[in-house]
A = this chain, B = another copy of it.
Amino acid sequence: MYQEAWKRMLEANHIVIVSHVHPDGDTLGSALALYDVLTRVGKKVTHYNTNNELPRVYDFLPGFAKTKHVLPKTFDLVVSCDCSTRDRLKLPKGDYEIINIDHHITNRYFGQMNLVVDRFTSAGMVVYELLKANEIEISKECAICLYTAIADDTGFFLYGDMDALTFSIVSHLVKCGANPQEIASKVKRREPLSKIRLYGYMLNHFDLHENGTIATIIFDKAALESTGAKRHDTKNIINMLRSIVNVTSAIMILEEKEGGYKVSLRSKDINVSQIALEYQGGGHKTAAGFEVPSCDPTVLRDEIVAKIKRITEV
């Protein structure tokens, strides 16, 4: 399958590599690694992302600045990276040929070819295996992209089912020129002051329920405004509440600018995805989420706390 996919890429005239909406390090790293490799072999390639503003912490990735936010007029192959459903690519309708490279267990197999390996912790690992299977040399630039992809999707080796293969790939990427400390510094040590202030707000306003086993925080519009934080500054900050010793699950409720609320659920081992499903959301066992229209956020919070309590008691 890896050979076939590579052959198809070499045959294409103009390849559009697509990273998903609200991109993270895995989708960008995987896409830009492929961008590096394919331009090196002389292919015409465009990296497309629908968001005009990409997260700045990934600006060190080779090729980052060449990302296009408008599709080229013609192209004959789409390669999708780290995307489980076609709608998150934000491509206009059309009869594209798609190679779908992903690792989500929920992947919909929307491509003509689907390189989906759900035991991998990141799409970056799939791209690595694709290159290895075709004996493609990994440049320093490509190694930086793939290291970032693999590290980012595990919170830098904290979450997910990392196995011996994960680390042997990482070891090889470091040999090829990826600098772990430099990459960590770029991704993890460039927090905006607004995000730090949002942490401060959270740590002074969170609540504990059920004997301190459930932690909750509500961010209304005013909270975000008072700290200067943007919506993406809320990303992952709930993990700090989950890290408290007696806390088994944490809930973040975020008031959206355009109305309604976004809810993030995290647990240590309770299956919170089943709660998300009840609200037409989704996710993984220990990290899930959903969106709801306008409501009283404290009522919503108490409702979710009760649901978690019920699961815990089973």
Task: Spell out A's residues near B (CB within 8 Å).
Answer: 151, 156-168, 170-172, 174-175, 180-181, 184-185, 188-193, 196-197, 199-200, 203-204, 212, 240-246, 268
Contact = CB atoms under 8 A, between A and B. Distances in A.
Contacts of A197: 203
Given A188-B243, A268-B185, A156 B156 contact: yes
Q: Secondary structure at chain A's binding surface: helix, strand, loop or mixed?
A: helix
Contacts of A172: 164
A204 B196 CA distance: 10
A246 B184 contact: no
A190 B245 contact: yes
Contact of A196 (B188, B193, B203): B203
Contact of A243 (B168, B181, B191): B191
Contacts of A159: 181, 184
Contacts of A175: 164
Given A171-B164, A171-B168, A245 B188 contact: no
Q: By CB atoms of chain B within 10 A, which of A161, A162, A171, A192 has the most?
A: A171
Contacts of A157: 151, 156-157, 180, 184
A273 to B, nearest CB: 17
B174 A245 contact: no
Q: Which 6 A-B pairs have the closest CB atoms?
A: A200-B203, A167-B171, A164-B175, A168-B171, A190-B245, A158-B184
A284 to B, nearest CB: 13
A158 B171 contact: no
A167 B150 CA distance: 13
B181 A158 contact: yes
Given A156-B156, A203-B199, A244-B193, A162 B188 contact: no
A158 B244 contact: no
A245 B167 contact: no
A247 to B, nearest CB: 9
A199 to B, nearest CB: 5
